[in-house]
Structure formats: C-alpha cells, structure tokens
Amino acid sequence: MNGDTKLVLALITRIELKLPCNSGKRLETIEADPLVQQTVSAIVDLSRFRFSTIVKNLTHLLETISKEKIIIHSDERKKRFVHLGIEPTTMVLEDSMPVDILQSQLFVLKIFSACVSHHWKCYRGLQRGELLNGIPKTSQSSVEIKNNSNGHVNRVISRHPSSDAKYILKVLSRFLHQMANQEENLPKDQSIIGVPGAGIPNPGVGSGGGGMVNGGYAVYSTVTYEIVCEIFNYAGRVILYISASNWSVVFSRIKSRIAYLTSTYDEWPETADL
C-alpha cells in the first residue's frame, strides 16, 4: 500500500468518524467544521489521481452506514413497538429511515459527487489538451503527467472511472428506491397528517419535522422527505457520471430491468431504479 492510498484511507476514516450517525452531531454543524472542510477538500483533490481508491471506499462507506446502522436501529425500534403492543412490519423498518442515517448518507454522497465532478473535469481537460496538441487517443487506463522542467513523472490521472462501476451502481440504486418509498408515503395534500387512527411518534424522524407511524405504516415527514430528495439528486449526479464513463454497465442494467418488467407477472413490479 503506497503513501497516497494510506492517506486516502485515513481521510475517509476521519470523515466516517465525523458522520452524524457516529458523532451524534447535526449535519450543519459537521459541514461548518473547518477541519472537516479541509479533509473533504483533500479527498476531492486526491480524486484526480486516486479516483478508483476513493470511490471504492466511499461506496463501501455508504453501504456500511446504510446496512449495519439500520439493523441496529431497527432492533431498538422493534422492541419499542412490541412494548406498545404493535407488531412492527418490514415496511416500517425500511421506510422510516433515521434522520442521522439519512444525513450521513447525504454527506458522503456530497463528497462522492464532488469527487466525480472534479475527476471528470480533469479528465476532460486532459482530452482537450491531447486534441489540441495532436496526440492520438490511447486505450490505456491511465496517463502519465510529466514535469516540464525535469521530465520526471509526478502523478498518474486515471482515464476511466473505477472498474467497480457495477458495484457502485448497485449500491447507489438503493437511494432511488428510498426516494420512491418516500413518494409513496407522501399524502396527497402534502401535509404532515397521518392515516386516521391512533398514532405514535415515529422513532425514525427527528424532532424537527413531525411524522407518525399508524397501524404499522410509515407516514410522511417534511424533514425526512427533504433530505431524501437531496440524497436522490446527489446519487443521480454520480449515476450520471457512471453513465457517461461506463455506459455499457448502465445500459446492461437498463436492459435487464426492462426484460424483467416485460416478463414478470407481478401486478406492482419495482420500477424505482428505472
């Protein structure tokens, strides 16, 4: 493991420890922290040269906080529901995402989006430079950047995104489903009103935005919905990058989903990732 890779892992670990789900702090407080801002800037700058390492570890971090933390939180909520004499359903545990988890997902996706945007600009700038200088395109996966003064190789810019595009797309697709779940729970009048009947406060919603669980159903919350909308937008930006750089991976997934939808007998098939 070289020095740059160790630095990338250390920076991402530092971000992980600062996430709302680990630190207990609000996202606004974390984003205003000068040390966190410096760490994010360093990760974005390194994405020009260590893109594959960064996106792979950010994707793994997203998957970790989206699975392990939900399982822990769901167990706590299950005990609370049982204590109240309510049988918790799988839908409640999946649809009512804790705000600290949502904020953590959003923060990581913001960094992810900034990294792919920075890397793409660097790569496109390199391509334009080659065209202007009459340098033929190559099929190499990276290109050496030389110092004009001494000819030594300083860095290597990755020409193409991470080879783990399928893995990244698989993880990010869950956020499209997350958005679809929120839209399904949105009342027609978009007011914070639960289904008629006795309700209990939703443990998965912060104190800032209402939200109830009635009869085992997750109900709309303005706080949750706004965060999920942001998550959806940032995840979409990353997926857009993947479609531009690894179109074959995205196209293959689209074809497989269309093939499934045309052959399934399910009356309400899942279409969120389309």
Angle, nearest 10°, between helix axes 99-132 and 3-18? Answer: 150
Residue 119 pLDDT level (bands cut at 50, 70, 90): confident
- Mean pLDDT of the region 30-44: 96
Radius of gyration from C-alpha coordinates of the chain? 22
Cα separation, 61 vs 250, whole angstroms: 22
What's the pLDDT score for residue 12?
Answer: 96
Helices (H), 133-214: 165-184
User: Over the stretch 184-232, which tens digit does the pLDDT of each residue have?
Assistant: 655 544 433 333 333 333 434 333 444 433 333 334 567 788 888 899 8
C-alpha to C-alpha distance for 153 and 146, rounded to whole angstroms: 5
Exposed / middle / buried, residue 86 (Cβ in 10 Å: 0-12, 13-18, 19+): middle
Proportion of the chain above pLDDT 70, given as a percent: 56
pLDDT above 60 (res 156) = no
133-147 tens-digit pLDDT? 555 544 444 444 344
Do residues 54 and 126 touch, judged by C-beta distance below 8 A? no
Higher pLDDT: 178 or 157? It is 178
Alpha helices in 24-149 (DSSP H): 27-31, 34-46, 51-83, 90-95, 99-132
Q: Which two tokens stand for residue 2?
A: 């070289």
Pairing of strands 212-214, 217-218: antiparallel
Residue 6, Cβ density class (10 Å: 0-12 exposed, 13-18 middle, ≥19 buried): exposed
pTM: 0.68
pLDDT for residue 40 is more than 90: yes
